[in-house]
Chain A
Amino acid sequence: MITVNENLCKGCNLCTEFCPQKVYKESEKLGKKGIHVPVPVDEEKCKKCGLCALMCPDQAIRVDEEDNDE
């Protein structure tokens, strides 16, 4: 599961651009801080490589290994 923290994201879109699987899409609507927080729209394509979490300059992303949504 992918989580993007709305309180930390500054909307740089590095994740949207550099995810090799193009999982993210820029959000159409503004988040609570007035930022277009990316949405992992194509999550099923995610290879869990962790690149987005490593590249997010604001530590806003978590990619869980297992899809255990309790």
Chain B
Amino acid sequence: MVKGESPFMKYLRRDRLPTIFCAGCGNGIVMNTFFNGMEMAEVDFDNLILVSGIGCSSRIPGYVACDSLHTTHGRPISFATGIKLANPEHDVAVFSGDGDAAAIGGNHLIHGARRNIDITVVCINNSIYGMTGGQISPTSPKGSYGTTAPYGALERPFSLADLVTAAGGTYVARWTTAHPIQLSKAIKYGLQNKGFSFIEVISQCPTYYGRKNKLRSPIDMLNWMKESSINKRRADKMEEEELQEKIIVGEFQKKPEPEFTEKLCKLLEEQCVTGKPTAIRSAYQED
């Protein structure tokens, strides 16, 4: 380790730094918490594959010094499904934005959860489309401003943690970038869970969401997250009106269930007439 270097530098492609992210963007905090959670879960970095779609948040895997795939907008879970099925031994994680995961990629998200395939999705929810200039996303709070909502968003936002819980995710949690310790632990549990894990991170895009919504600095945005957060256990006992404008944080689901690739491998073994299934793990049989 180089003297005076961040403890996370060993996981990064240092020739690509600094990142393109704006000053104070939450993406960098999520990267740190991921590395922290990965260390706690004792994931073998050489066995990890990171997958992303398109967006500012989707640039993350490109900075990490492991195998990675930067795919098309909304499709990282589909590509990750392919990777996991080709070799279920790999640890596969997805970085996705709220636009990537819940707008264009919404169907892939719910079906990944329904299948309970063993991938960990870290969804960086900054409530806006950052990369394309601040358009409203499916998670933008009602009344919030964006370039496509100059009078405030009219629609109801998705609660992604609830959506994925309902769709069948087996580990689901929500934290914010103002809770880096809890977030690291949730990522740890997500990586350890043998099944579909979804970690929603409420994050800051000071450049678009902040500027349009009177939260001018990243500091203002983190203070807003801290002040608005309420733990799920407490929130469950409260009325809906009391929870308006609150960010409910904590664990939404923790319920192990049979995992998809395991079920598929078992089926192949049972049904294979040649005694050795080749459709799966085929590329790795030499190893």
Q: How many residues of A contact B (CB 8 A)?
A: 24
B106 within 8 A of A: no
B28 within 8 A of A: yes
Residues in chain B near residue A53, CB distance under 8 A: 6-8, 32
Residues in chain A near residue B8, CB distance under 8 A: 53, 59
A54 engages B219 (CB within 8 Å): no
Interface stretch (choices B15-23, B88-96, B156-164): B15-23
Residues in chain B near residue A57, CB distance under 8 A: 21, 23-29, 31-32, 218
A14 engages B19 (CB within 8 Å): no
B9 within 8 A of A: yes
B7 engages A10 (CB within 8 Å): no
A62 engages B5 (CB within 8 Å): yes
Complex Cα spacing A5 to B5, Å = 8
**B17, B27, B180: the one within 8 Å of A51 (CB):** B180
Complex Cα spacing A60 to B239, Å = 43
**A1, A14, A54, A61: the one within 8 Å of B218 (CB):** A14
Counting from the closest, the 3 A-B pairs by CB-CB distance are: A57-B28, A12-B24, A3-B4
A13 engages B219 (CB within 8 Å): yes
11 A/B residue pairs, CB under 8 Å, sorted by A: A1-B4, A5-B5, A12-B24, A13-B24, A50-B7, A53-B7, A56-B28, A56-B32, A57-B27, A58-B19, A59-B31
A55 within 8 A of B: yes
Chain A 33-62 interface mask (CB, 8 Å, partner B; 1/0): 000000000000000001101111111111
Complex Cα spacing A62 to B1, Å = 11
B66 within 8 A of A: no
Residues in chain B near residue A3, CB distance under 8 A: 3-5
